[in-house]
């Protein structure tokens, strides 16, 4: 299918202003790394997303769904096919009431249910909950990702994970565009994983259960967590967050530091001198630099400690 026809079809579904070609993915990842995607589209609703999914499937165009790119490393070669971004336009957050199927605003167990679309940032959900004096989401408020990505990866911090607050998620089948509701207990949550990708699902929204609390205490706790992140993490450099998963019985950052890799570089990619669990972009890093660095570090840690480091960041376009 001609590029012009494909662009015209996507524009008819999502609006011409929300569709482009040869879009640099470095603009859409927190790493600030990545080549161009052949097509880039930002739908605003589940109906638009469904139209995009079915349109691309019918024309055998591969596509990848992203949030705000906070946990992605995109290849320097870019992405063949289409990138569908849910961050920004697909980000409604609201309190669910009796007609939602979750009971009244406050149920018998004292819980309040929020619905957040997949493109909503975790920070936005945290702020929304705090304004309503709802506690339980503070742990996630500083994670630099979106609701959809958090469900896919069972994101967590400070001893809590998304599975601890998730009630259910609405998902779309990538292969068909069909929409399903999946209860949290059916999502096979584990450390930084779920059944979402394996089942070929796209997260549309999530229902989370929180409890009424004291607004000032909630905001103070969120501020404490934010300050802790500023003190411990290299937030002044582009990165994709924690680079490696936590090996059982160990901490990746400590292993990397003890192996002598703190501050180690490959091109513009560097093991942060502030926190060895982070690879940072010092200004001109390429995806090749990051892969070279992480491969070298993983090999060095395994050679010294016999512990295998597994990437937490997701690779796209490789």
- The pLDDT tens digits of the residues spanning 278-303 come to 999 999 999 999 999 999 999 999 99
Q: Which residues are catalytic?
A: 192, 242, 312
* CATH number of the domain that residue 201 is part of: 3.30.465.10
156-157 and 278-281 beta bridge pairing: unpaired
CB 196 within 8 A of CB 211: no
Tell which of 155, 187, 219 closes a domain: 219
**Does 158 reside within a domain?**
yes
- Alpha-carbon distance of 42 to 19, in angstroms, equals 7
pLDDT tens per residue, range 302-316:
999 999 999 999 999
**Does 99 reside within a domain?**
yes
Predicted pLDDT at 25: 97
Predicted pLDDT at 173: 97
pLDDT confidence bin for 97, thresholds 50/70/90? low
- Regarding whether 213 and 311 lie in a shared domain, the answer is no
Averaged over 82-98, what is the pLDDT?
87
Q: Which domain holds residue 114?
A: 93-219
- Alpha-carbon distance of 84 to 42, in angstroms, equals 6
- Regarding whether 173 and 103 lie in a shared domain, the answer is yes
* CATH number of the domain that residue 255 is part of: 3.90.78.10
Predicted pLDDT at 158: 87
- Regarding whether 183 and 102 lie in a shared domain, the answer is yes
Residue 110: pLDDT over 90:
no
pLDDT tens per residue, range 240-269:
999 999 998 899 999 999 999 999 999 999
pLDDT confidence bin for 98, thresholds 50/70/90? very low
Predicted pLDDT at 274: 94
Residue 100: pLDDT over 60:
no
CB 194 within 8 A of CB 188: yes
The percentage of residues in the chain with a pLDDT greater than 90, rounded to a whole number, is 87
- Regarding whether 142 and 36 lie in a shared domain, the answer is no
pLDDT confidence bin for 277, thresholds 50/70/90? very high
Q: Nearest Cα to 293, choosing from 223, 242, 243?
A: 243
Residue 104: pLDDT over 50:
no
Predicted pLDDT at 2: 80
- Regarding whether 102 and 205 lie in a shared domain, the answer is yes
**Does 42 reside within a domain?**
yes
Mean pLDDT of the chain: 92
**Does 30 reside within a domain?**
yes
Tell which of 219, 249, 279 closes a domain: 219
Predicted pLDDT at 1: 60
- Regarding whether 186 and 103 lie in a shared domain, the answer is yes
Burial of 302 (0-12, 13-18, 19+ CB in 10 A): middle
Residue 99: pLDDT over 70:
no
Half-sphere exposure of 72 (CA within 13 A, CB side): 31
Predicted pLDDT at 88: 84
- Regarding whether 213 and 107 lie in a shared domain, the answer is yes
The percentage of residues in the chain with a pLDDT greater than 70, rounded to a whole number, is 96
Within 214-286, residue ranges assigned H as helices are: 215-232, 252-258
36-41 and 79-85 beta bridge pairing: parallel
């Amino acid at each position: 299918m001609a590029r012009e026809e494909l662009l015209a079809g996507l524009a008819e579904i999502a609006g011409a202003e929300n569709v482009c070609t040869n879009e640099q993915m470095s603009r859409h990842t927190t790493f600030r790394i990545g080549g161009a995607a052949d097509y880039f589209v930002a739908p605003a609703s589940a109906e638009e997303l469904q139209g995009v999914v079915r349109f691309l499937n019918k024309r055998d165009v591969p596509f990848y769904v992203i949030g705000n790119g906070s946990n992605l490393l995109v290849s320097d070669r870019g992405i063949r096919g289409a990138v569908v971004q849910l961050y920004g336009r697909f980000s409604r957050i609201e309190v669910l009431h009796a007609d939602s199927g979750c009971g009244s605003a406050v149920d018998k167990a004292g819980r309040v249910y929020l619905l957040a679309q997949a493109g909503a940032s975790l920070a936005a959900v945290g702020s929304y909950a705090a304004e309503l004096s709802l506690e339980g989401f503070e742990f996630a408020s500083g994670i630099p990702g979106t609701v959809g990505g958090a469900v896919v990866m069972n994101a967590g911090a400070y001893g809590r994970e998304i599975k601890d607050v998730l009630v259910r998620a609405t998902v779309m089948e990538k292969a068909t565009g069909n929409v399903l509701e999946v209860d949290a207990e059916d999502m096979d949550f584990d450390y930084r994983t779920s059944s979402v990708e394996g089942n070929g699902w796209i997260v549309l929204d999530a229902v989370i259960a929180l409890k009424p609390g004291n607004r000032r205490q909630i905001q103070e706790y969120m501020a404490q967590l934010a300050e802790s992140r500023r003190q411990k993490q290299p937030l002044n450099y582009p990165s994709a967050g924690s680079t490696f998963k936590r090996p059982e019985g160990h901490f990746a950052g400590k292993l990397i530091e003890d192996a002598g890799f703190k501050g180690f570089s490959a091109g513009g990619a560097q093991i942060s001198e502030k926190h060895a669990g982070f690879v940072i972009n010092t200004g001109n890093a390429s995806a090749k630099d990051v892969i070279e660095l992480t491969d070298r570090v993983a090999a060095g840690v395994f050679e010294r400690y016999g512990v295998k480091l597994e990437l937490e960041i997701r690779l796209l376009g490789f």
